[in-house]
Amino acid sequence: MEIDPAKATARAVCEELLRNSILSKETHDTVAKEELDWAFERIKDVFETMERMNSAA
């Protein structure tokens, strides 16, 4: 996933993902299929949070 630097830094996104119980790094070896829906919901929440933070600035 590539982060638009106009929206947020990669570090800020990773920190917000961590607050949503997703430990993220630049690469992943495997992702279990049954975890994808759960992870995508949290990723969506993070980007919505980052958008709200960007709008408030």
Query: Tens digit of pLDDT for each residue in 2-30?
Result: 777 788 887 788 788 788 887 776 544 44
Q: How confident is the model at residue 47 (pLDDT cuts 50, 70, 90)?
A: very high
20 within a domain of the structure (yes/no)? yes
- Structural domain boundaries enclosing 52: 10-56
- Counted domains in the chain: 1
pLDDT at residue 48, as a whole number: 95
41 contacts 20 by C-beta, under 8 angstroms: no
Instruction: Report yes or no on 14 lying in a domain.
Output: yes
CA 5 vs CA 2, 29, 33, 51: distances in Å: 9, 25, 29, 12
Four-CA torsion 19, 25, 29, 33, nearest 10 degrees:
30
pTM given for the model: 0.55
Query: Residue 2 domain-assigned?
Result: no
Paired tokens of 56:
């408030």
